[in-house]
């Protein structure tokens, strides 16, 4: 009777997992430290501390509870700046690309999604300087949480907050919403519930709607429409925020170049027409919206595939449209950076550009509330100038100034407060944070600020003489321009410095983390060597125990791939690099076969497989193949078909079903052809085939077939996926005791491992296929074909040995290396990549409409790592079985050692690549692409490493 090996054989996997967890925790604490959030809040009375106040006096600094030594009030109707607008209507269209709003004449190629928001283009063209379109540049990462936080605090985003995008914490630092609420402004919010999570106590009234079901294009938008127009007719609010999500969700599911996206943009155009009509109808003298400022903006952009989170131009470039309901100003010579072109009708159309960083402080200046304490933005002169109130001369004493000069004087006063606030924050941040800015940086900032204040002193002298003598000879246009330029230079330099050196890196913590990670590599190497020695002693093999040529080749391939992470270009093409190295292993096998006297069919098939993998990796991800969320036909990416005929459309519909049927046949053939099919195996086979049938029904029900009633569609889209989850989870719970029972009752370890391994893959595959969508069966066939080629090739290579004993695994680790590289290729083959915009959020909602953090997180993890981690690791025992030919007299004694060694080698390959990623981000921590490229790669690799360690430990408990 057979028995399971002792538990002591699995302790190395526990030790490795703990070492990696400690190392990653330490390094992450040093690398992904958040920016220090100071517990200080600006107050109206703080203006007395600034040199911009005529009665400037020194008093105590602001306190952590939001008050200073003076009273909260400030009185007099003016706080830091003179209010220029009475009300603000802010409509946020999530993931609003710049080319959604800007006229198509500004782009080299006209796309179907352009010129859909015609109402905004018309207003910007017809209304002159009272309405304008801006290209708003966001700071990566471009997830909604970071962008909303940046828009309201005026600070730069911190990378670690990406992890909070599914459960946004309340913002504790000073922000625009806090200042509005504290200064008597009533804020009404409708739409995305992320606002309520970030600002739970700042709204006078809120109508939030759940935002994380990316399959739902209409619920949030319908809720906004329900409340938006009626709210515009109410008098009991000062700021109205409406956050629409349809464009963002349409991009995630269907992509930018899709019918749902076009329909959403056209719907938004109609909504905006109604909003603008309502505002204009009540904008007359004494009207409800006489002095309303209207803003339509995006929080970030999106790629053509509808993704965002990174730092590409498509993701960081969003749109902002602003319009004042007041009459246009009487001058048009405000210095700006307009870019203008003429359309086919000869009409001039212009757009401008601004940083999203500047939004919070500009809106605060327009509304007359204190600037957020941690803001490093500057008041944008073009956005500030759109409100006629900023140069309304009825309240100014400088009646001898021209309209432009009066406006510039008011703007300079605002910039003075702006610079003082930024300088105050930088000084306090550097003195209270752990690291802060260097003394050289602070000195440079101080010198620039002193220079700007020198201009300010000269400017004030000229203004004083002008006020006394009413003589314009003391005040020339150059004085205004010099002062504005000096302040702008200071603010620009502070923002640039913060972007390059904002993140605080704890090098000691990072070094300790790397040291522990390097120690884990040594432990893994020692464990592999120790198991190899025990294996040789137990089987008394005469095989060469030295370093083989194939061991050197495998080490070289792993090292080359890991070293490629030191270059951002190779990280961007990681899938191609892995595919190239996988093809290299095929060349090595071909050479080995030729030397042995011939080639194998398996190697020829594997060559074709690498070509298919490379072709599909080059094509990139397809929105039509993401999860089971698309109702469109499966995309024939393998054939690079764009405009397909009706025949090919039929093929594209049939191909996923045919692939699923072929996969089911292969599963049955593999089991019946290797082992005798017992009752337990039949049970798991039946459960798998039933799940495959349900997947096919799910695809049919979610397709756009008019004959299918809505009830059947709901059953297919929600009930069937949940039934698949229940069947698979139930089989998984039964599989573990069945496997343990076999160890006790049977002595044939080969059959136990084969049936256990194939049964486990059968149990896991339906859920992974379901979440992967209609591309899932194709990817599964690629995995099965590649795995069979590797297994059969190695079986034939080890069929004959010089002394009739099994060959050493450590002497030929190329099969394990090929297995690992195939898993990496499958990750990119299925449309993933190491970035947050590479997460396929639609897969997390297959079978569900409502968001639950744990449930959706598990489904998203299964979709992301199903083909690259879960299936390959639980399939490794099949590779081990053929390292030794059946019938070896000592097979039972060596199998467990071989399996442990393969698990250790596979884990070592993953650990080496993760270690080089850690080295890469440590070296490149000041790189321009650190948050857009290197940090996401680090997060994916270390999470993948921990998942691989956990799965290897679970597999060892199950198999060994």
d(CA 554, CA 23): 26
3-state secondary structure of 520: helix
**Local confidence band at 472 (pLDDT 50, 70, 90 cut-offs):** low
pLDDT of residue 640: 43
Q: Is 810 exposed, middle or buried (0-12, 13-18, 19+ CB in 10 A)?
A: buried
With a CB cutoff of 8 Å and minimum separation 6, the contacts of 823 are 867, 868, 869, 872
Residue 669 has pLDDT above 90, yes or no: no
Residue 405 has pLDDT above 70, yes or no: yes
Q: What Cα–Cα distance (Å) separates residue 818 from each residue in 391, 439, 470? A: 70, 52, 85
E strands in 202-270: 205-209, 239-244
- Contact yes or no for 36/504 (Cβ under 8 A): yes
Q: Is 524 exposed, middle or buried (0-12, 13-18, 19+ CB in 10 A)?
A: buried
**Local confidence band at 435 (pLDDT 50, 70, 90 cut-offs):** low
Share of the chain above pLDDT 90, in %: 33
pLDDT of residue 69: 34
pLDDT of residue 421: 94
Smallest CA-to-CA distance from 227 within 267, 271, 184, 286 is with: 271
- pTM of the entire structure? 0.72
Give mean pLDDT, residues 802-828: 78
Give mean pLDDT, residues 127-141: 82
pLDDT of residue 548: 75
d(CA 316, CA 293): 25
**Local confidence band at 844 (pLDDT 50, 70, 90 cut-offs):** confident
CA–chain centroid gap for 860, Å, is 13
Give residue-wise pLDDT tens across range 234-283.
999 999 999 999 999 898 888 898 999 999 999 999 999 999 999 999 98
Smallest CA-to-CA distance from 318 within 340, 349, 296 is with: 296
Share of the chain above pLDDT 70, in %: 77
Residue 127 has pLDDT above 90, yes or no: no
DSSP state of 7: G
What is the edge-to-edge ordering of all strands in the sheet holding 317-324? 205-209, 187-192, 239-244, 87-93, 292-297, 317-324, 131-137, 348-355, 339-342
Smallest CA-to-CA distance from 772 within 703, 865, 856, 693 is with: 865
pLDDT of residue 885: 44
E strands in 343-428: 348-355
Return the minimum-mean-pLDDT range out of 125-129, 196-200, 724-728. 125-129
Smallest CA-to-CA distance from 62 within 81, 48, 80, 78 is with: 48
Residue 199 has pLDDT above 50, yes or no: yes
- Contact yes or no for 183/381 (Cβ under 8 A): no
Residue 641 has pLDDT above 50, yes or no: no
3 or 785, which is more confident? Answer: 785
pLDDT of residue 887: 46
3-state secondary structure of 398: coil
Give mean pLDDT, residues 570-581: 89
d(CA 789, CA 606): 6
Give residue-wise pLDDT tens across range 70-89.
333 333 456 898 888 999 99
Give residue-wise pLDDT tens across range 279-326.
999 988 888 998 899 999 999 998 888 877 777 788 889 999 999 887
pLDDT of residue 588: 82
pLDDT of residue 590: 77
pLDDT of residue 164: 41
Return the minimum-mean-pLDDT range out of 1-10, 81-90, 307-316, 459-468. 1-10
**Local confidence band at 491 (pLDDT 50, 70, 90 cut-offs):** very high
674 or 518, which is more confident? Answer: 518
pLDDT of residue 766: 92
Give mean pLDDT, residues 5-29: 84
Residue 19 has pLDDT above 90, yes or no: yes
d(CA 476, CA 464): 13
Q: Is 625 exposed, middle or buried (0-12, 13-18, 19+ CB in 10 A)?
A: buried
Give mean pLDDT, residues 696-714: 69
Beta-carbon-side half-sphere exposure of residue 150 (alpha carbons within 13 Å):
28
φ/ψ bin of 470: left (φ > 0), alpha (ψ from -120 to 50), beta (otherwise): left
DSSP state of 244: E
Average pLDDT value over all residues in the chain:
80
- Contact yes or no for 841/621 (Cβ under 8 A): no
DSSP state of 932: I
Domains of the chain and CATH, by start:
84-168+188-199+217-389 (3.40.720.10), 404-466+476-503 (no CATH)
As beta bridge partners, residue 243 has 92, 191
As beta bridge partners, residue 826 has none
Smallest CA-to-CA distance from 131 within 382, 415, 496 is with: 382
**Local confidence band at 34 (pLDDT 50, 70, 90 cut-offs):** low
pLDDT of residue 277: 94
Residue 747 has pLDDT above 90, yes or no: no
% helix / strand / coil in the chain, to the nearest 5? 60, 5, 30
């Amino acid at each position: 009777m057979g028995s399971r090996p002792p538990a002591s054989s699995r302790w190395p996997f526990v030790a490795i997992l703990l070492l990696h967890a400690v190392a990653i925790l330490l390094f992450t604490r040093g690398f992904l430290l958040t920016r220090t959030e100071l517990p200080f809040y600006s107050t109206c009375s703080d203006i007395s501390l600034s040199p911009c106040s005529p009665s400037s006096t020194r008093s105590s600094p602001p306190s952590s509870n939001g008050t200073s030594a003076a009273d909260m009030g400030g009185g007099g109707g003016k706080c830091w700046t003179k209010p220029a607008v009475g009300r603000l209507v802010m409509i946020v269209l999530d993931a609003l690309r710049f080319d959604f709003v800007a006229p198509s004449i500004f782009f080299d190629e006209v796309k179907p999604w352009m010129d859909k928001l015609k109402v905004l283009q018309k207003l910007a063209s017809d209304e002159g300087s009272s309405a304008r379109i801006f290209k708003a540049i966001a700071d990566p990462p471009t997830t909604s949480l970071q962008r909303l936080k940046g828009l309201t605090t005026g600070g730069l985003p911190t990378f670690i907050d990406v992890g909070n995008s599914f459960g946004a914490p309340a913002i504790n630092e000073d922000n625009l919403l806090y200042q509005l609420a504290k200064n008597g402004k009533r804020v009404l919010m409708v739409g995305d519930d992320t606002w309520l999570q970030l600002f739970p106590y700042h709204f006078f009234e809120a109508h939030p709607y759940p935002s994380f079901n990316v399959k739902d294009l209409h619920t949030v938008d319908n809720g906004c429409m329900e409340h938006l127009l009626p709210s515009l007719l109410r008098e009991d609010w000062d700021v109205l925020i409406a956050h629409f999500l349809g464009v963002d969700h349409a991009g995630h599911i269907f992509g930018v170049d899709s019918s749902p996206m076009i329909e959403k943009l056209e719907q938004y155009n109609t909504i905006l027409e109604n909003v603008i009509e309502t505002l204009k109808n009540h904008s007359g003298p004494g009207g409800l919206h006489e002095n309303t400022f209207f803003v339509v903006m995006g929080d970030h952009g999106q790629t053509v595939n509808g993704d965002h989170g990174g730092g590409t131009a498509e993701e960081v470039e969003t749109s902002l449209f602003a319009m004042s309901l007041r009459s246009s100003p009487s001058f048009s010579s405000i210095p700006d950076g307009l870019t203008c072109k003429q359309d086919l009708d000869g009409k001039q159309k212009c757009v401008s550009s601004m940083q999203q960083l500047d939004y919070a402080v500009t809106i605060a200046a327009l509304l007359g509330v204190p600037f957020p304490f941690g803001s490093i933005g500057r008041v944008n002169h073009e956005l500030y100038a759109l409100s006629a109130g900023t140069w309304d001369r009825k309240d100014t004493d400088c009646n001898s100034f021209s309209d432009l000069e009066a406006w510039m004087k008011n703007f300079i006063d605002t910039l003075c407060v702006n610079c003082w606030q930024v300088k105050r924050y930088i000084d306090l941040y550097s003195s209270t944070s752990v690291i802060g800015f260097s003394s050289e940086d602070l000195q440079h900032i101080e010198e620039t600020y002193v220079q700007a204040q020198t201009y300010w002193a000269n400017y004030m002298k000229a203004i004083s003489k002008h006020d006394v003598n009413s003589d314009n000879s003391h005040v020339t246009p150059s004085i205004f321009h010099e002062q504005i330029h000096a302040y702008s230079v200071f603010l620009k330099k502070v923002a640039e410095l913060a972007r390059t050196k904002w993140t605080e890196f704890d090098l000691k913590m990072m070094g300790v983390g790397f040291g522990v990670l390097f120690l884990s590599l040594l432990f893994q190497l020692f464990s592999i060597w120790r198991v190899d020695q025990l294996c040789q002693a137990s089987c008394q093999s005469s095989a060469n125990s030295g370093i083989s040529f194939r061991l050197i080749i495998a080490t070289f391939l792993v090292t080359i791939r890991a070293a490629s992470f030191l270059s951002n270009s190779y990280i961007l093409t990681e899938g191609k690099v892995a595919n190239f190295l996988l093809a290299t292993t095929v060349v090595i096998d071909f050479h080995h076969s030729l030397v042995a006297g011939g080639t194998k069919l398996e190697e020829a098939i594997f060559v074709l497989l690498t070509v298919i993998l490379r072709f599909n990796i080059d094509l990139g991800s397809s929105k039509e193949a993401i999860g089971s969320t698309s109702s469109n036909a499966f995309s024939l990416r393998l054939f690079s078909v764009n405009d397909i005929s009706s025949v090919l459309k039929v093929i594209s519909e049939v191909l996923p079903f045919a692939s699923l049927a072929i996969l089911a046949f292969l599963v049955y053939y593999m089991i019946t052809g290797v082992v005798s099919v017992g009752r337990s195996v039949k049970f798991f086979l039946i459960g798998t085939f039933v799940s495959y049938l349900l997947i096919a029904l799910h695809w049919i029900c979610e397709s756009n077939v008019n004959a299918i009633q809505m009830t059947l569609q709901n059953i297919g889209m929600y009930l069937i996926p949940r039934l698949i989850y229940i069947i698979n989870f139930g089989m998984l719970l039964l599989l573990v005791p069945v496997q343990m029972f076999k160890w006790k009752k049977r002595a044939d370890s080969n059959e136990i491992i084969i049936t256990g391994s194939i049964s486990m893959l059968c149990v896991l595959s339906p859920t992974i296929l379901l979440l992967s969508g209609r591309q899932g069966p194709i990817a599964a066939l690629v995995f099965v074909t590649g795995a069979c080629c590797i297994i059969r090739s190695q079986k034939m290579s080890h069929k004959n040995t010089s002394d009739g004993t099994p060959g050493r695994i450590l002497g030929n680790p190329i099969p394990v290396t090929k297995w690992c590289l195939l898993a990496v290729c499958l990750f990119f083959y299925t449309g993933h990549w190491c970035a947050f915009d590479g997460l396929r959020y639609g897969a997390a909602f297959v079978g569900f409409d409502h968001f639950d953090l744990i449930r959706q997180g598990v489904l998203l993890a299964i979709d992301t790592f199903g083909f690259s981690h879960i299936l390959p690791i639980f399939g490794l025992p099949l590779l081990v079985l053929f390292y030794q030919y059946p019938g070896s007299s000592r097979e039972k004694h060596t199998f467990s050692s071989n399996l442990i060694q393969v698990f250790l080698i596979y884990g070592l390959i993953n650990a080496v690549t993760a270690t080089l990623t850690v080295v890469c981000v440590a070296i490149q921590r000041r790189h321009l692409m650190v948050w857009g490229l290197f940090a996401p790669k680090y997060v994916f690799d270390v999470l993948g490493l921990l998942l691989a360690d956990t799965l290897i430990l679970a597999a060892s408990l199950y198999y060994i």
